[in-house]
Chain A
């Protein structure tokens, strides 16, 4: 019984949100505001029960980790933003968080992104492995596989030249920059295609819910 009620509520809210595609209307507004209110309430509740209570409150009450008073104090200092005269105090925990996350990000980006991606870009223009793969099994896929390394090397050079603004994009540099622009467009096109795929999937999921769970046609 309760399941059926929730399915009807979900279906009604889905249709209310979709009604915006026709034009803006009060039903859409109601669903939109309900969503924002529920989402905010849900996040606060889950932060309290899944984070604040097990990681801070329970160990403190049990007298296990007194050092947890430090994050508690830092957390409380954040609330001084509500009092203009002492609002400056909230900058301290904020500075602490910015410091922590900056430190983490520098290491993460350098180690996980920069170094590994540079390393992965430094490949021989002709892959011996791909050549021997084609020789052993001549076909379309193995032939395409041979083009992978040359495209990476040539494409990387062209795109880097495009972003090298100290050099006027004329003559040879202009040619490479134009090729770089073309390759960037291919990348953006792939990005657009994948975005369409995601958006269509969202629509399919809602339609499937309406025709299976709600209307039970399929």
Chain B
């Protein structure tokens, strides 16, 4: 190889990373501006998540823990909206809580969006309750196994639990045939598996940020998790099953193009590395 080409290749290896930022930004932005239609194959964990909710009889209760904050909104908020849509569509009563301080406002936002979308047909305190945040992490998870009222004497809006009709049917985990956890870190799915699922024999399904998926997959294989939405792709598959286009399906175009670009950059980087190493050896 002539020295000029080698120098060019070396300069490419040390390209200003801002060019990479710009290319990723364009790869993400263009598909958002010019969307295209994609058909996604639905994975088994997503099907299980969907089927567990579908199998619940109308009027039954679900406990939903939304353990995330605005930092993970991109993945978990579309899951919250999609799950609420599904649960309300099936006329399932929902008790929502959060072990993250910034979780309850995200829940409120999702609830308001979906309730408005449905034409205000669901009543607070009868069809759903937002218990808000509670500090204590694992201690709260364990104490809810004894009594949810003791852990949450008031809801997010400061109402006493005894004033809410829905809560009169709630004792502890045993009041819920299904527990759903949407989370991205600590405390989250892992803690619920360790401290609640195993001890109180819950049927637990989860939606997780993609970054947590490799760690949580072991719980799917062991049967401790009965279904899982794996990142934004999992949520898009779920929206496809629901036949309702939500945020995740809108995001998937950009996600796919972004991934293709990252894969290309990794391949180009490796090719450059090996070519330069070979030339330098010669």
A25 at the interface (CB under 8 A from B): no
Chain A 90-124 against B: per-residue CB contact (8 Å), 1 yes, 0 no? 00000000001100110111011100110110000
Contact of A197 among B71, B223, B247, B255 (CB under 8 A): B255
* Stretch of B50-58, B106-114, B209-217 that contacts chain A: B209-217
Task: List residues of chain B with CB within 8 A of the CB of A113.
Answer: 193-194
* Stretch of B87-95, B132-140, B162-170 that contacts chain A: B132-140
Chain A 53-88 against B: per-residue CB contact (8 Å), 1 yes, 0 no? 011001100000000000000000000000000000
Chain B residues numbered 142-198 whose CB sits less than 8 Å from any CB in chain A:
142, 152-154, 156, 158, 191, 193-195, 197-198
Chain B residues numbered 57-99 whose CB sits less than 8 Å from any CB in chain A:
71, 73-75
* Stretch of A127-135, A162-170, A173-181, A198-206 that contacts chain B: A198-206
CB atoms of A200 and B138 under 8 A apart: no
Complex Cα distance A21/B213, Å? 28
B218 at the interface (CB under 8 A from A): yes
Chain A 169-196 against B: per-residue CB contact (8 Å), 1 yes, 0 no? 0000000000000000001001100111
CB atoms of B221 and A120 under 8 A apart: yes
Task: List residues of chain A with CB within 8 A of the CB of B153.
Answer: 54-55, 58-59
User: Interface residues of B, CB < 8 Å — how many?
Assistant: 58
Complex Cα distance A113/B198, Å? 9
Output the least CB separation between B235 and chain A (Å): 10
Task: List residues of chain B with CB within 8 A of the CB of A206.
Answer: 74
Complex Cα distance A217/B75, Å? 22
Chain B residues within 8 Å of A, Cβ to Cβ: 18, 21, 24-25, 28-29, 32-33, 71, 73-75, 101-102, 104, 132-136, 138-139, 142, 152-154, 156, 158, 191, 193-195, 197-199, 209-214, 218, 221-224, 230-233, 247, 250-251, 254-255, 258-259, 262
